[in-house]
Amino acid sequence: MDKIQINGGRKLKGEVTISGAKNAALPLIASAILVDGTCEFFNVPHLMDIKSIKLLLEDLGARCTFDDHVMTVDGSGIHKIEAEYDLVRKMRASILVLGPLVARFGHAKVSMPGGCAIGARPVNMHLTGLEALGANIHIDHGYIEARADRLIGSDIYFDTPTVTGTENLMMAATLAKGQTVLRNAAREPEIVCLADALNDMGAHISGAGSPMITIDGVDKLLPAKVTVIPDRIETGTFMVAAAATQGDVRVTGCNPDHIGGMISKLKATGAQIETRPDEIRVRGGETVKSVDIKTLPYPGFPTDMQAQFMALMCTARGTSMIHESIFENRFIHANELMRMGADITLSQANLAMVRGVPELQAAPVMASDLRASASLVIAGLMAKGTTVISRVYHMDRGYEAMEEKFSALGADMKRIK
Ligand SMILES: CC(=O)N[C@H]1[C@@H](OP(=O)(O)OP(=O)(O)OC[C@H]2O[C@@H](n3ccc(=O)[nH]c3=O)[C@H](O)[C@@H]2O)O[C@H](CO)[C@@H](O)[C@@H]1O
Ligand SMILES: C=C(OP(=O)(O)O)C(=O)O
């Protein structure tokens, strides 16, 4: 298994270009199931998760190509409606094929995604939403089976905003008969990107980006060319790394409007931030001030940035309270950061108190999930000496060419095979 080795203590300097967003590309690619023709997706990041969804769609019968960040998906050959365990278990976002399959083919069978390191992550709201659209749902031998001759528009309320739940039901409702209203919907930029793409395919969706999305069903969707939005979590990761190493980094090809909360919090730590329409310059100060954060659905502070921000807080002046309100077990990185000398108390399951220490020490550490691996990379860049991070297959799920990008900024970072 690959490891990442970092000799820390260098200030990051230069320019880094942000890749397309994993969490936008995955639902977009799944949406191609709705189309009897070929969709083209641009700015698709080269990541494990993208390979996984491509394999899943190919297994269903779609013909896909993926080269130089362009993916084509021809959904005309889809003949299988079953997403098998071996493909689904590699990536939870595979649940995104459920809505499109039942909407277009009237029948879908998708392996139930299991729990994962960061929490149980149930899919109950995806299922009750599909039931509200008229699907019959059965869970049998670890598979979710959904059937409906044709989905019927409905009024659906989410108990809590769910990103992939909103995406699944929005996709399903595009081909339903009549109008669907999604209330308390997730508002993430990835939802807006998907709604725009579906509208380009001929769907009638309004309100995406607000808590109420209205979808007027159509009989069919047509092929479209779609560009994936920049990855706001990769953007935030490089911004935090720049601040954590007292660096000076221009993050280009990003959308500052998507990370307003991150920018405010990073400014409060003392980092100097300048934004342009598709660029952010971050200059870290000699000292970092402690800042409290609470993760919340968009536009709140993203849970996918909590681990990276915690790494920054480890050597900040003062005490930071970090409240994780989205996932019940998303502090596994805290124990690894403590192995590097951080002073962190996990007082309750979802609350961490980080008391700043003068410096972190390099150590062998282990990544437990995708953003935990980014947090350990940032800690490794801060710590003097050699940090070796194992289980970086988690990182490869969601960061394109991470070690190349950090190396180009002056980091001493390499992959050990
Ligand atoms: C591929 C993708 O886009 N992944 C993102 C998506 O995950 P994902 O879409 O899985 O996360 P959700 O927005 O659904 O989860 C939000 C909360 O709702 C709960 N919940 C969700 C669905 C459900 O049916 N029942 C239920 O209780 C979850 O356990 C969690 O506590 O949003 C998360 C929250 O921003 C991000 O961390 C993930 O990176
Ligand atoms: C948790 C994440 O992804 P996923 O929902 O695909 O597990 C993430 O991107 O941080």
| Mean residue pLDDT across the chain | 97
User: pLDDT at position 348, please?
Assistant: 75
User: pLDDT at position 409, please?
Assistant: 98
Instruction: Kindly state the percentage of the chain with pLDDT values over 70.
Output: 100
Q: How do 3-8 and 412-416 pair as beta strands?
A: antiparallel
Fold agreement (3-19+230-416, 22-227): yes
Q: Around Cβ 114, how many Cβ atoms within 10 Å? A: 12
Q: What is the pLDDT of residues 5-42, one digit of tens each?
A: 999 999 999 999 999 999 999 999 999 999 999 999 99
Higher pLDDT, 226 or 114: 226
**Angle formed by the axes of helices 332-339 and 306-313, to 10°?**
30
Contact (CB, 8 A) for 351 and 321: yes
User: pLDDT at position 115, please?
Assistant: 72
Which of 397, 399, 402 most suits a substitution to test ligand 2, by most atoms within 8 Å of the C-beta? Answer: 397
Whether ligand 1 lies within 6 angstroms of the CB of 163 is answered as: yes
Whether ligand 1 lies within 6 angstroms of the CB of 326 is answered as: yes
Q: Identify the residue whose C-alpha is closest to ligand 2 atom 8.
A: 304
> Is 392 strand, coil or helix?
coil
Cα 370 to middle of ligand 2, angstroms = 7
Residue 349 has pLDDT above 80, yes or no: no
Residue 91 has pLDDT above 80, yes or no: yes
Segment 144-163 mean pLDDT: 98
CATH number of 22-227: 3.65.10.10
* Domain parsing of the chain, residue ranges: 3-19+230-416, 22-227
Q: What is the pLDDT of residues 264-292, one digit of tens each?
A: 999 999 999 999 999 999 999 999 999 99
Class of domain 3-19+230-416: alpha beta
Question: Ramachandran region of residue 401, left (φ > 0), alpha (ψ -120 to 50) or beta?
Answer: left
292 is in an annotated binding site: no
304 is in an annotated binding site: yes
- Whether 116 is a known active-site residue: answer yes
Q: What is the pLDDT of residues 320-348, one digit of tens each?
A: 999 999 999 999 999 999 999 999 999 87
- Residue 358: pLDDT band by 50, 70, 90 thresholds? very high
